[in-house]
Structure 1
Amino acid sequence: MPKKIPVISLFSGAMGLDLGLEAAGFEVVLAVECDEQAVATIKANRPSLPVIKSKIEDVSTAEMLKKAGLKAGGAFVVSGGPSCQSFSTAGARRSLGDPRGGLFRHFMRVVEETRPKFFLMENVKGMLSAAIKHRPLNERGPGFPPLEAEEELGSAFRVIVTELRRLNYYTAFDVLNAADFGTPQSRERIIFIGSRDGKRITLPKPTHAEHPKKHQKKWASLRSAIGRFSEIDSPGAKLIASQEKYLKMIPEGGNWRDLPEADQKEALGGAYHSWGGRSGFFRRLSWDKPSPALPTTPNAKATMLCHPTELRPLSVREYARIQQFPDDWKFSGSISSQYRQIGNAVPTGLGQALGMAILDAWNRRNGLAQLGTVETHNEDLVRRMASRPVTMLNPPSMRKKNGNENSTEWDQSRLKKRSDSTQYSATTQVTKAA
C-alpha cells in the first residue's frame, strides 16, 4: 500500500470532503470542478494541485488519469458528490429528469473506465426517495390518473442501485449524520463505498450521539464551533426589514411558530396555508445544539439561519467553522458563491470518518464479498425503505380536483397497475444481504 493513497476528486467544490480524506491519510492528486469561483478557491489553497476546470461530461477519463499521474486499475480512490439539488427534498425534485440528476452516471462512467481500487460517492438523503419523473403534488390523488412506475417515490434509487451493480464492485451504503462524527451540524447524507476487489466494507460507527452511549461523546454544539469566534467585519448576508421585524420576536432555538399567532400568517405569506413543518422559516439557532444542515442561502425565507443571539444570519466564516474548514482556508468569489461552496461541502469530520472506513477495508485480508452486490448493514434503514410510501398527497383541503374515489381507493387502483417485481426488485437485491 502506498504511503498516501491517491484520490481523484470529482465535483470538488471547496474541497470539504477532500480535506476530510486528507486528514485520514489520503492525498488528493486531481480535482475536477466546473464552477469558476470554486476552482479559484481550490487554487488559492492548493496552488500546486492539478485542476481540470470543466463539466465532467466534457472530460475524458484518459485526461483525468494523465493529469493525476495514474493508470486505470491502479491503487487509488475516486470520490465525489454528484450535484444533489435534483434529489433534494426542497424544490421541484426533478431527479433523473434534471440534467444534474444524471451526473451520477458520469461518476459511474469515471469509475467504470478508471477502475479505482475504491470509490466513494455521497449525496443527499433525498436520493433514497426521489422519483425518476416528478409529478406535481396538485396533480396526484383522486381525480388524476394512477402514477406511472417512474413517478413513484424510490424509482430513481432503483436505477442508481442497478447502475452500481453493473460496475461489478462490492458496494455498501448507509445514511450517516455528520453530527454523529463530531461535526457541530446535523446533516444526513447517503454514502456509497465500493471495492473493486470485493473487500468487505463497514461504514463508520458513530463516535458521538445526542444521547451518548458507552464510548460515545455528546453531539458537538454550535457554541463549540462559533461561540468564541470573532472576526472584525466578517462578511455575510443581510436581513431585510421584514425579516428583522419577526426575528426580533423569536427566541434562541425557535422559529415562526414562536411568533404571536396574529403575526404568523403575515410572516409566512402563502406558505402559511401549506403543510409540513416549515421549520426553516424565521429560524433562530440554538447555542447548545448542533446547527441544522447548512443551506446555500442563510437569509432565504424558508432556509433562515439566524445567529442565536444577534439579529443577523450566520457569516461566511461561521459557516466555514460549522463545516470544519481550517480557519486559514480561503474562499473565492462573491459572498453568495462562498455560501454556496461551503453549504454544498461535506463536513471534514464526516469525510475523515469515511476515509478511515476505506482504509480499514483496504487493509482487510479476508472475508471477500460477492462482486456486483449493493447492500446496507443498517436494518432500520432496510425497514424504512421497505415500508416507505410510493407517493405523497396534499391534504384533502388543498386538493383542487376531486374525483368520486377517496385517496385510499386511488392508492389501491394504482397498486393494481404496479408489479411487485417492478417496484421492489432492485430494493430486494439491496436488502437480501442486509
Structure 2
Amino acid sequence: MDSAENNRPIAIDLFAGAGGLCLGFEQAGFDVPVAIEIDPIHAAVHRFNFPLCKVIPRSVKEVTGKEILSVAKLSSQQPITAVIGGAPCQGFSVMGPRSLCDPRNELVKDFLRLVDELQPSYFVFENVKGLTCDRNRPVLEAIIDQIAAINYRLVDPWQVLNARNYGIPQNRERLFLVGARNNTCLPIYPKPLKHSPTCTHALGDLPDVEQFHSLINKGEVIVCLSQPHSAYAARLRCQSRRGWYYGYRRQWDPSLLTNSIRTNHSQQSRDRFARTPPGTREPITRFFRLPPDGVCNTLRAGTDSARGSFTSPRPIHYRYARCITVREMARLHGFPDWFRFHSTKWHGARQVGNSVPPPLARAIALEILKVLDHTPTVPTQILPAGNEQLLTMVASEAAAYWGIESPIRQRNKVPSRSANSLELAKV
C-alpha cells in the first residue's frame, strides 16, 4: 500500500471488529494500513476483507504507538490523519461512582493514550448512546477532560448520530466524538440526508433463501438476482464504479449469494411470525417484524462465548415468515455484497451488529477531508479475493493462525482442522 503515491491520507483503526469504520474511511479516500482487533475470529475476517491492512491481533492495552508506526511502515512524510475506533465501555451500566479509573473502562484510556502517542490530526471515537445518559455522564465528562489534557479539542457540541439520517435503512443511534489537534481546523458533523432508504429498497432484490435447500447447511449459493429495486441496492451490489466510491475494488463473484445460511424455524414460530403485522413485535419472542416502507430496528450483536454465545435477535422479514439472514442484516447496515462475514450465523451477526455502518463512517470521514481541502483519489489497484479459510475458523483455529492464545472460551468443543491446514499468509 503506497499511500503517498496514491495521495491518500492515513487512518489507524484501534477497535476494528470486522471493519465497518475501516470500510467507510476507505470508501471516503483513506488508506488504513493497520487495524487492532483482539478477537482472533474478527481479526481473521478483517484480514479477508482488507488484504492491504495489517492486523495486530492483540488488545490495545498491549500495543504502543511506536509499534503501530513500525507495522504500518510509515515514513516521516506520511503523517497519520486520523485514529478511529469504538472502545468497548463495559462499566457504564453499573450503579455508583464512575470514572476512567474503573478498570472496565480502561480501553477508553488506551484509545486516548494511542491518540497522544500517534498524534494524528483527527480522531473519531464511537460509542453507545448510553454514555450520554445522566448516570454515565461523569464518565463522558472525564473522557472530555482527558481529551483536553492531551491537547485535542472536540467538535462542540458532541452529537449522537442516527444511521437512518445518513442513507441507511436502520434506526441506530450512536455517540460520535470527533476531535482535532489544537493547531488543526475542526470539521463539522455530517448533515442529515433528506430521505432514508427503506427495508424494501435494501432487501427487495434478494431471493428467498428458503427456496435453496443447500442453504440449510452452508451459507453460499449461486443465484440469478433480479434487477435492484433501488439505487441503494445497486450501490451495494457494486454494479458500477460508483458503488466502490473511493475505495479499492475487489475481485469477487456477484452471482454468489454469501452469508445466507437458513434458520430452521418451527412451524409454530412461522405461524406466529406470519401473524405479526410489519412494524410490530411478535409477542412471544419479541422479534421485530420489518416494515417494508420503513426502516429496521437497531441490529444488535448478541453475546460472546464468555456470556453464553447467544445469537442476536434478528428481525423478521417483512415478506417471509422467518428471521433475516446475516447477508440481509449486512444490507440493512450498509455493507456491500462483496464484503464477507464469518460463515456462522452467530459470529456473522455479531460482526454486523458490533460494527459502525460504513455509509455513516464514510460521511464522517468526508467531513475530515473537507477541512483538509483534500480531493479523494480513486485507486486503480484491484484487490484479490482472500483465503476463505479465514471465514470458517473456530476460536482455537483463529488463535493458532495468529500465533496467540485464544481469549475466547468455547463452550462446545468443535473438531479442529490440523495446524498445517492453517498455513496462510499473515502479512
TM-score, normalised to structure 1, is: 0.65
Number of the residue aligned with 1:376: none
Is residue 2:178 matched to residue 1:201?
no
Select the residue among 321, 327, 349 that pairs with 1:339.
349
Q: Which residue of 1 aligns with 2:369?
A: 359
1:129 to 130, 133, 140: 133
Q: 1:190 aligns with which of 152, 155, 175?
A: 175
Give the Å deviation of 1:240. 5.8
| Partners of 1:177 and 1:189 within 8 A in 2 | yes
State the partner residue of 2:295.
290
Structure 2 Cα separation of the partners of residues 81 and 237 of structure 1:
30
Q: Distance in 2 between matches of 1:40 and 1:335?
A: 16
Structure-2 change in CA distance of 1:76 and 1:200 (3 Å): closer
Q: How does 1:11-410 map to 2 (within 5 A)?
A: 11-70=15-74, 74-84=79-89, 86-87=91-92, 99-129=103-133, 131=135, 153-172=136-155, 173-196=158-181, 197-207=183-193, 216=194, 218-230=195-207, 232=212, 233=215, 234-239=260-265, 243-244=269-270, 246-256=272-282, 267=284, 281-297=286-302, 303-332=313-342, 334-363=344-373
**Could you say if the C-alpha distance between residues 290 and 78 of structure 1 is closer, same or farther in structure 2, counting changes exceeding 3 Å?**
same
Give the structure 2 partner of residue 385 of structure 1: none
CA shift at 1:52, angstroms? 0.5
Deviation at 1:335, TM superposition (A): 2.2
Amino acid at match of 2:140: F
Q: In 1, distance between residues paired with 2:119 and 2:65?
A: 10
Q: Structure 1 pair 246/346, CA: closer, same or farther in 2 (3 Å)?
A: same
Whole-angstrom distance in 1 between the partners of 2:203 and 2:92: 30
Please tell me the residue identity of whatever aligns with 2:201.
S
Which ranges in structure 1 are unaligned for 5 or more consecutive residues? 132-152, 208-215, 260-266, 269-280, 365-434
> Contact between 2:80 and 2:118, CA under 8 Å: does it hold in 1?
no
Say yes or no: does 1:10 pair with 2:14: yes
Local SS of the residue matching 1:70? coil
Correspondences of 1:395-434 after superposition (within 5 Å): none
Flag the 1:36–1:301 CA change in 2: closer, same or farther, 3 A.
Answer: closer
**Using the alignment, how far apart are the partners of 1:243 and 1:129 within structure 2?**
36
Q: Secondary structure at the match of 1:159?
A: helix
Q: 1:48 to 1:200 in 2, by over 3 A?
A: closer
Identity of aligned residues (%): 32
Two-structure CA RMSD over aligned residues (Å): 3.1
Listed one character per residue, the Cα deviations across residues 38-92 of structure 1 (whole Å, up to 9, x for unaligned) are 1111121223321101011111221111111236893421111112555479x99
Change (3 A) 1:303 1:100: farther
Matching residue's letter, 2:206: F
Matches of 1:96 and 1:88 in 2, distance apart? 14
Cα displacement string for residues 279-311 of structure 1 (whole angstroms, at most 9, x for unaligned residues)? xx2321111111111111499799451111322
Question: Would the alpha carbon gap of residues 35 and 302 (structure 1) be closer, same or farther in structure 2, given more than 3 Å must change?
Answer: closer
State the Cα distance separating 1:120 from its structure 2 match: 1.1
- The answer to whether the Cα contact below 8 Å between 1:4 and 1:27 also exists between their aligned partners in 2 is yes
| Partner Cα separation in structure 2 for residue 245 and residue 94 of structure 1 | 46
Distance in 2 separating the partners of 1:309 and 1:97? 49
Classify the secondary structure of the residue corresponding to 2:10.
Answer: strand
Task: Report the AA paired with residue 175 of structure 1.
Answer: V
Q: Tell me how far apart the structure 2 counterparts of residues 183 and 55 of structure 1 sit (CA, whole Å).
A: 30
Change (3 A) 1:102 1:236: farther
Q: Structure 2: how far apart are the matches of 1:244 and 1:290?
A: 22
Q: What's the CA shift string for 1:96-115, capped at 9, x where partnerless?
A: 68755331111001001111
Q: TM-score, normalised by structure 2?
A: 0.66
> Partner letter of residue 122 of structure 2?
F
CA contact (8 A) 1:37 1:333 kept: no
